[in-house]
Amino acid sequence: MVISSSTGWWRQFFSILTMEVTFIFLVTIFVVSLHRFFQWYQRRKRIWDAIEPFGGEKWYPLVGTCLDLIKASRENFYEVYSARNKKHGPLFRTWMGSIPAVHVMKPDHIERILNSTVNLTKGDIYKFVEPWLGEGLITGSDHKKWHRHRKLLTPTFHFSVLDNMMEVMTEKGQYLADRLTQKADGKFFNIYPYLTLCELDIICETAMGVQVNAMKHSDSEYVKSVYGISDIMLYRMFHPYLHPDFIFNLSSKGRQHKKYLSILHGFTRKVIQERKEKLTSGNVQQELSEEDKLLGKKKRLAFLDLLLEANKKSENGLTDEEIREEVDTFMFAGHDTSTVTVGWTLFALSNYPEYQEKVHQELDEIFQGEERPITPQDILKMQYLDKVVKETQRVIPVVPVIARTLDQDLEIGGRVIPAGVMVVIHLACLHKDPQQFPDPERFDPDRFLPENIAKRHPYSFVPFSAGPRNCLGQKFALRNTKVLLASILRKFKVRSEKKIPEMKYAIEIVLRPQGGLSVALEPRT
């Protein structure tokens, strides 16, 4: 009986002790959670109080100020987005669900952001691209890691490397021009798919050293995945209820997104492994045909090959996954932007025959009627075409917005924007600032004559961003653009079915033409 009584006492003691410990544990969790909620609330209240005076659309629970964008159809989304900027600009606030943002459009404000060596973190909206690109140069917010990657990658965009990559550009450009010969009958057709597939061929070979032959096989899974994932990323960005990963992953969009990721990452990882094995075994030269070897040609080294070589020599190199992130980043950044730039420039020239004639004259002076490949020296001589491309980028911006999330408070326009707020830079509005570009809707390549550039604010035109986080591949992009434009315009005159004010735009990371780009080609006599 004593033992039984003793056992019962101990059970009762431990039962009470367990209840007390559980109670203390729950109270502790409650207090800690309440404390963290209070800290979060204080931060949010500080942000709200700081950015609310900037004004903007009405705020609603859960969706923030995105109600008008959620209600907008795909066809009029860009018009709704642009109308908001005109109504509230040049400085206003929004809430993309729970993401606070201040929108800027003036060059002096933009200079303070892009030129900062402190506020280098990419905007919160880039997190929707991270599943594909990881922590690459575009999306990376770890400053130490970003600096390490940038230092390692910079030599891969040296002029000598670009000269080597130009062989791919000229070959694909010539193949594109040959395909377009079949369409050069003066009838209108959608040229955009031709440009898209050509650029995909160029970027796959220059980035990874592989030929996907997109111009011949446009139904490849990789090609479809590149475009499919871009559409889903933008849809998610402007639908705040899909921001939480848990909800997004359960949705049909999330499941399709996962499928695209599997295809894209699987393709890149497979290529990386194959290139590593070939570089290690010294079999790169064997990829050349016997004819090319006899002619003394060397294997074209792709961005991936150069990155792997640099990585071997670096004491603080990249992991295979980090290499995958940078290759995918190069694919993402280099493909869409170049396609859109070439397309919009052709469209602009088709609207202005007088400027197209000047481009034709310049190309005739350079090539003198010879059917030869385009060289790096030829690119340097295309000075008028360069001005046309820049004016196209001004009037129809390839990338309408870029963003930073502030690491430190920043004073703009006499107000302080707190750390943690995303600052959205509207290049579409910046490039049409009437104080910098009088009569901004007028297309005039002479705006980019040296004497006219000197009169403007240095941050009035930044199509490739600026400052420490400017686009590392901008020289590649411009060279690629000129090669394709020259390949087409050496052979054809181009007419458009629509005028610039009549065009409808689709904002999908880059600014695409809704319904394609309808033009007519005629052989030059």
Indicate the domain borders of the chain.
1-29, 57-523
Q: What is the pLDDT of residue 299?
A: 61
Q: What is the pLDDT of residue 41?
A: 64
- In terms of Cα–Cα distance, which of 87, 97, 43, 88 is closest to 65? 97
289 pLDDT exceeds 80? no
| DSSP characters over 270-305 | HHHHHHHHHHHHT-SGGGS-HHHHHTT--PPPPHHH
* Phi, psi of 508, rounded to the nearest 5 degrees: -135, 70
295 pLDDT exceeds 50? no
Terminal C-alpha separation, the chain: 116
Q: What is the pLDDT of residue 9?
A: 65
Averaged pLDDT score across all residues of the chain: 87
* Phi, psi of 422, rounded to the nearest 5 degrees: -85, 130
297 pLDDT exceeds 60? no
Q: What is the average pLDDT across 159-183?
A: 91
249 within 8 A of 107, measured Cβ to Cβ: no
422 pLDDT exceeds 90? yes
**Lowest mean per-residue pLDDT among 5-9, 198-202, 390-394:** 5-9
**Could you give the CA distance from residue 268 to residue 281 in angstroms, rounded to a whole number?**
20
251 pLDDT exceeds 70? yes
**Could you give the CA distance from residue 321 to residue 40 in angstroms, rounded to a whole number?**
34
**Could you give the CA distance from residue 305 to residue 311 in angstroms, rounded to a whole number?**
10
Q: What is the pLDDT of residue 288?
A: 47
2 pLDDT exceeds 50? no
CATH fold, domain 57-523, is: Cytochrome p450 (1.10.630)
Between strands 505-508 and 510-513, the pairing is antiparallel
513 pLDDT exceeds 70? yes
Query: Given phi > 0 = left and psi -120 to 50 = alpha, else beta, which region is 62?
Result: left
The DSSP letter of residue 117 is S
329 within 8 A of 136, measured Cβ to Cβ: yes
Q: Global pTM?
A: 0.87
How many CA atoms are closer than 13 Å to the CA of 80, on its beta-carbon side? 17
Confidence of residue 287 (pLDDT cuts 50, 70, 90): low
Going from the C-alpha of 211 to that of each of 168, 271, 443, the distances in angstroms are 10, 11, 38
Q: What is the pLDDT of residue 3?
A: 47
346 within 8 A of 485, measured Cβ to Cβ: yes
Q: 7-41 as b/e, with b when 16 or more CB fall inside 10 Å?
A: eeeeeeeeeeeeeeeeeeeeeeeeeeeeeeeeeee
Higher-pLDDT residue of 400, 297: 400
Confidence of residue 7 (pLDDT cuts 50, 70, 90): low
Return the H-helix or E-strand segment holding 93.
strand 91-96
Give the Cβ contact number of residue 66 at 10 Å. Answer: 23
Contacts 24+ apart (CB under 8 A), 236-242: 236/128, 237/96, 237/125, 237/128, 238/66, 238/69, 238/70, 238/77, 238/96, 239/66, 239/70, 240/62, 240/63, 240/64, 240/66, 240/70, 240/96, 240/97, 240/98, 241/62, 241/63, 241/97
**Could you give the CA distance from residue 248 to residue 7 in angstroms, rounded to a whole number?**
54
pLDDT tens digits, one per residue of 79-131 = 888 889 999 989 999 998 888 999 999 999 999 999 999 998 988 888 888 99
Q: What is the average pLDDT across 290-308?
A: 64
pLDDT tens digits, one per residue of 499-512 = 998 898 887 778 88
**Lowest mean per-residue pLDDT among 194-203, 253-262, 457-466:** 194-203
- Which pair of tokens denotes residue 478? 């411009």
